[in-house]
Amino acid sequence: MNIKITADSTCDLSPELVEKYGIEILPLCIIKDGKSYRDMLDIAPQDIFDHVNAGGAITTTAAINVEEYICYFRPLSEQYDAVIHINISAGFSSCNQNANIAAEEFDNVYIVDSRNLSTGSGHVVIEAAIMAQNGASPEEIVEAMKTLVDKVEASFVVDKLDYLRKGGRCSALAALGANILSLRPCIEVKDGKMGVGKKYRGKFDACVEKYVNERLEGRTDIVTDRIFITHTPCDKKIVDMVRKTIKKHMQFTEIIETTAGCTVSSHCGPNTLGILFIRK
């Protein structure tokens, strides 16, 4: 069967990966000063950071609506035997709900809730694409992805809480206290929702190194096919250190560095880095 795998832009896959696996990406809308921009097409993370640094309000994201999904799915459903669309977690956005409503208009469009974000979703997208390339049926792919989503481990270390505060996700007092104490929180995705895990203390690079060590040390339950290093703009030395630290613990077939898109950047700000992988 000729199956097309699609995803929303929050999966944070690079253009090279999108091309390699033949994936179609549908951009979310980023709202800046009341105007809508297409994620990673009309606006990039640095545009958001420059805007906020200049005193502008934090940008927000808008879910893809039902009509947009219908217009997006219609030509693909006619061109391919099946379309499998993978969304950011329903716990973060109404995208999944809207996509499911739109899919009711078609006999060959399937929707998968990744229960994740960023390259946590990206893992699911790639695994679905690999199965499609290997000749699996749409039903087989969807069922496999429903099992896979709970095995993806996604987390990030955030340098400062300023963007989370501006977005209303933490109090000004908490942000001030964290900055004074040099606390770097770990944001974790669990059960399709985002929460705060361990809080690291010290310089950002040292906190990131400790975070990677703690995520990987002594683990025997990790699939070593692929691990993502996904970050909003971080110093190359920090990214190189993370890559070296990963290799110290285990040999992955692929260590893939990707840049977080506007959704993660809007919520977490610059100097946010995570490692994302699949458990056995």
Domains of the chain: 3-150 (3.40.50.10170), 151-278 (3.30.1180.10)
| 222 has pLDDT over 70 | yes
What pLDDT is recorded for position 198?
87
pTM of the model: 0.93
Mean pLDDT of the chain: 91
Is 271 a residue whose pLDDT tops 80?
A: yes
- pLDDT score, position 268: 83
Lowest mean pLDDT among 38-52, 181-195, 222-236, 264-278: 181-195
Percentage of the chain beyond pLDDT 90 is 79
pLDDT at 177: 39
Q: Looking at the predicted structure, is the pLDDT value of residue 169 above 50?
A: no
Distance CA 269, CA 280 (A): 31
Between strands 82-87 and 3-8, the pairing is parallel
Cα–Cα distance measured from residue 153 to residue 279, given in angstroms and rounded to the nearest whole number = 7
Mean pLDDT for 247-251 is 97
Q: Does position 75 have pLDDT exceeding 50, yes or no?
A: yes
Residue 164 has pLDDT above 80, yes or no: no
Q: How far apart are CA 23 and CA 84, in angstroms?
A: 10
Q: Is 251 or 164 the better-scoring residue by pLDDT?
A: 251
Q: Report the range of poorest mean pLDDT among 20-24, 242-246, 267-271.
A: 267-271
Please give the average per-residue pLDDT across 135-155, as a whole number.
98
pLDDT at 49 over 50: yes
Q: Phi/psi at 28 (nearest 5 deg)?
A: -75, 170
Confidence (pLDDT) at 196: 79
